[in-house]
Structure 1
Amino acid sequence: MNKVGLTEAVMKAVGIEVKKQATETVEAVFDTITKTLAKGEEVAITGFGTFKVAKRAARMGVNPRTGEKIQIAASIKPKFRAGKVLKEAVK
């Protein structure tokens, strides 16, 4: 399912008849999660899962083409951990 499919599913589930409203709702959810993570905070949705920011330390790596050792810079990545209800639903 992509964003358009999700928007259509929200329209049916909530009974929204105007696609623009459903699109704005879906966009608002994604935007809120993104902005919260950008501030370094986590988003916990009970039963669904938790979005959080994970910091990775700088480390040494190997270029697979040349075999040369390279320094990989520290980075910050978004992570998602599925909640119990979501895990059970997928089984």
Structure 2
Amino acid sequence: MEKADLEMILNRVINEDPDTPSRVIALSAEDLDRSLDELEVDSLAKAEMIAILDDQYEVDISDAEAAKFATPRDILDFVTTRAEQGAR
């Protein structure tokens, strides 16, 4: 998983209408370590993101694992590691 992939997913889940987004997340190096709350990713968006990650990257993410996702870097590291392990 690349940073651009996560940006696309985050932008998809935070905007009700993807054709006219109300805001756009572009992850700078500093943003990778900002909390999802600081990036204004709410709990519903987080849940949608987990479902997309599960489907798109074929990784099972438990509620306990998802609760540990505090920053975009946490998500990137988790998905990348799981995908490399071929864990499902």
TM-score range, shorter chain: under 0.3
Q: Normalized against structure 2, the TM-score is what? A: 0.25
Greater helix share, structure number: 2
Larger Rg: 1
Q: Normalized against structure 1, the TM-score is what? A: 0.25
Greater strand share, structure number: 1
